[in-house]
Structure 1
Amino acid sequence: MALVLGIDPGSLKTGFGIVNSVGGKNEYVASGVIRLPANESLPERLKIIFQSVTDVIIEYQPNEMAVEQVFMAKSAGSALKLGQARGAAIVAGVNQNLPVAEYEARKVKQSVVGTGAADKFQVQHMVTHLLKLSSVPQEDAADALAVALCHSHTQQQLIRSTRSVTYRRGRLV
């Protein structure tokens, strides 16, 4: 059993999603969006991200954390803010002794939808389907759940690949 916390960072909205991964099956645990006040300074918003992610970790006690990597933003300033939001979330996880994995947005979409070029609606739809949710989660929460699912799928592939490695007469076959 592994509880995986997925984070979709943003300087105005940061999504989080928690998935329980048991024997290759994933179950929904929780998700939400940390809404940040636009009228606050960036340092204050980073503080809110750090504290809110810390609170989620303390409440749900995940075993692992996965964060979406920075993609090309509209501007250099946007990319910097997004990177700082990621940093605040990552520090919250590391501060709580969680191993933190990072995934490119294309890999997350590929893992959940089957194509790295999927749009937000497709991600929401597949997250709803894969986790058997009764309603569609908010966009940022769905993205965070997709990050958690991507991490879970990646870990399962690693486990399967190490089990399939065999040796005969001292040679890898």
Structure 2
Amino acid sequence: MSTAAASGALTTRILGLDPGLRVTGFGLIDRLGSQLRYVASGTIRTADGDLPGRLRTLLDGVREVIHTYTPDQVAVEKVFVNVNPNSTLLLGQARGAVICGAVSCDLPVAEYTALQVKQSVVGYGKANKEQVQHMVQRLLALPAPAGPDASDALACAICHAHGGAGLAVLAGGGTRRRAGRLILAPGEPGAR
């Protein structure tokens, strides 16, 4: 699962995912105690075409990222769109493909709302994209901001590392796993 460092502490690699049908952001960080280290980030892009083909691209893209970087845990942003029902449905299907990509690799998946991610990273749940990008750059000591989709994915990974459903929950404090997904006990951070 995790690798041991010279100090005996465990390093946990976290993959953050920001689902989108056209562009899905991904970001990987290593957590060693309270320290975070940037590993990689980028996007998975789908071409215009039929929906099943685009969903397959997302599924395969997530699997490729997992096989390349071997994360221990996955954090996915819960997306919410209420303006256009069709857009909401398509985004939900993209999110499902992304989660299935992680679960099919036997990884635990935690989910966070945009409000939770922004609160964890910026300290303000209604922060704008630029504020999130800036804080991700500072927290990970990046020379330049990552792109907006990659920054959102890195922010999701940081949220998870900062405790969301992080270590205490994964250590067994009232959680269960069902088909690779974490099921939080009532009262646990992030429980519904």
User: Same fold by TM (over 0.5)?
Assistant: yes
- Greater share of helix residues, 1 or 2? 1
| Corresponding residue number in structure 2 for 1:129 | 138
Gaps of 5+ in 1: 163-173
Corresponding position of 2:177 = none
1:23-63 deviations in Å (ceiling 9; x for gaps): 111100000011111x2111111100000000000010000
- Tell me the number of residue pairs that the alignment of Structure 1 and Structure 2 aligns: 159
**Which stretches of structure 1, 4 residues or longer, exceed 6 Å deviation after superposition?**
none
Q: Match for residue 18 of structure 1?
A: 28
- Match of 1:42? 51
Of all paired residues, the percent bearing the same amino acid is 49
What does the per-residue CA deviation read over 1:150-169, in whole Å, with 9 as the maximum and x for residues that have no partner? 0111225769xx8xxxxxxx
Q: Which has the larger radius of gyration?
A: 1
Partner of 2:114: 105
Q: Describe the superposition over 1:80-133 as per-residue Cα deviations: whole angstroms up to 9, x where unpaired.
A: 111111110111111100000000010000000001101110010000000000
Is 1:27 aligned to 2:17, yes or no? no
Distance in structure 1 (CA, Å) of the matches to 2:82 and 2:36? 31
Residue 62 of structure 2 is aligned to residue 53 of structure 1: yes
Contact 1:18 1:148 in 2 (8 A): yes
Q: Tell me, yes or no, if structure 1 residue 150 matches structure 2 residue 159.
A: yes
Kindly report which structure 2 residues correspond to 1:64-103, keeping only aligned pairs within 5 A, or say none. Answer: 64-103=73-112
Could you tell me the TM-score, scaled by structure 2's length?
0.80
User: Which of residues 124, 139, 149 in structure 2 aligns to 1:140?
Assistant: 149
Alpha carbons 2:16, 2:28 under 8 Å: kept: yes
Q: 1:4–1:148: 8 Å Cα contact kept in structure 2?
A: yes
Aligned-residue Cα RMSD (Å) equals: 1.4
